[in-house]
């Protein structure tokens, strides 16, 4: 089955700096890679996703890159703000599979 690893587990950055979270996956058939943000005490919410037919996707201050050959994908947050502080989860799934395989999460703290 799929194995998704996520690093780092915790990340602290100064407000205005960039944050990068990386995930690797093992199943070359995986083709959909969403990122979820979970604020303290709240439910996970999708913030950005990428499919395997593109290498990069951007939405304002958030971008995701995908390297299919190396089987890794990354979340990039630029100009971080205190409200970006949360736990971020990556995930991978196959088009015909039933499961989303989640990483173990990265706790991001943006220091004002």
Partner 1 sequence: GAGVSQSPSNKVTEKGKDVELRCDPISGHTALYWYRQSLGQGLEFLIYFQGNSAPDKSGLPSDRFSAERTGGSVSTLTIQRTQQEDSAVYLCASSFSGGGLGEQFFGPGTRLTVL
By CB under 8 A, residue 93 contacts partner 1: yes
Measured between alpha carbons, how far is residue 107 from residues 4, 37, 55, 73, 93 in Å? 17, 10, 25, 17, 22
> Tokens for 52?
């395997």
Interface with partner 1, residue 72, by CB under 8 A: no
Bridge partners, residue 109, by sequence:
12
Q: Distance between CA atoms of 13 and 25, rounded to whole angstroms?
A: 26
Among 8, 16, 55, 95, binds partner 1 (CB under 8 A): 95
Work out whether 99 is an interface residue with partner 1 (CB under 8 A).
yes
The correct pick among 40, 43, 60, 112 for binding partner 1 (CB under 8 A) is: 43
User: Interface residues with partner 1 (CB under 8 A)?
Assistant: 6, 30-32, 34, 36, 42-46, 49, 51, 89, 93-105
């Amino acid at each position: 089955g799929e194995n998704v690893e996520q690093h780092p587990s915790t990340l602290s950055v100064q407000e205005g700096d960039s944050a990068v979270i990386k995930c690797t996956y093992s199943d070359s058939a995986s083709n959909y890679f969403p990122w979820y943000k979970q604020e303290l005490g709240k439910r996970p919410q999708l913030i950005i996703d990428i499919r395997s037919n593109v290498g990069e996707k951007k939405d304002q201050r958030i971008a995701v890159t995908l390297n299919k050959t190396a089987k890794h994908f990354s979340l990039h947050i630029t100009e971080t703000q205190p409200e970006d502080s949360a736990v971020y989860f990556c995930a991978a799934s196959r088009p015909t599979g039933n499961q989303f395989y989640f990483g173990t999460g990265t706790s991001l703290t943006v220091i004002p």
